[in-house]
């Protein structure tokens, strides 16, 4: 697999002094109360040389809220000493992207709390807060399906 990435990550709550204090000469970002958005595109080919395009919706960027409880991922390293390390994964809380692979129909992926896709949004919009649960919706040819981003689909 190979890909070209054009991605911009923006810290969205820089006004919060708990996240970033510009009055400190060497100010570091405190990530635990931070939130960030991602905009951009990825293009490339899969391991079976199928071309793909992954484009983040400019008006509904991917968002990651670092205040949500991170999932601990255990990694075991081997070598002279065997050790267990824990890495943290923070899921996207909302945003939309389009994914095209080869000649298949475009997949519209909604991250986060996207239950609006199952309702008539014009007459009965749901305004629900994000759940930080790695769940979303994929829409193909106007039909929406629930999606679990932690599950491997074959």
Residue of 18, 40, 39 lying closest to 29 (CA atoms): 18
For residue 120, what pLDDT is reported? 45
For residue 98, what pLDDT is reported? 93
- Kindly give the residue spans of alpha helices, DSSP state H, lying in 4-151: 121-124
Residues of the chain scoring pLDDT < 70: 69-74, 86-87, 113-132, 154
For residue 128, what pLDDT is reported? 57
Residue of 53, 57, 31, 58 lying closest to 42 (CA atoms): 53
For residue 4, what pLDDT is reported? 95
For residue 131, what pLDDT is reported? 67
- Kindly give the residue spans of alpha helices, DSSP state H, lying in the chain: 121-124
For residue 117, what pLDDT is reported? 46
Task: Report pTM.
Answer: 0.74
59 vs 71: CA distance, rounded Å: 28
Q: What angle do CA 37, 116, 128 make, to 5 degrees?
A: 65
For 53-89, write each residue's pLDDT tens digit.
Answer: 999 988 889 998 888 766 666 677 777 777 777 667 7
């Amino acid at each position: 697999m190979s890909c070209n990435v054009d991605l911009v990550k923006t810290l969205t709550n820089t006004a919060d002094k708990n996240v970033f204090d510009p009055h400190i000469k060497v100010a570091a970002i405190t990530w635990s109360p931070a939130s960030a958005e991602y905009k951009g595109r990825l293009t490339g080919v899969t391991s079976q040389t199928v071309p793909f395009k992954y484009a983040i919706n400019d008006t509904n960027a991917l968002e990651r809220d670092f205040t949500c409880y991170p999932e601990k991922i255990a990694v075991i390293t081997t070598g002279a000493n065997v050790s267990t390390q824990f890495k943290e994964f923070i899921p996207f809380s909302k945003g939309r992207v389009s994914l095209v692979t080869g000649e298949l129909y475009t997949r519209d992926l909604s991250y986060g709390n996207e239950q609006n896709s199952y309702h008539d949004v014009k007459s009965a919009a749901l305004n629900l807060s994000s759940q930080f649960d790695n769940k979303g919706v994929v829409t193909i040819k106007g039909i929406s399906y629930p999606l679990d981003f932690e599950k491997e689909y074959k």
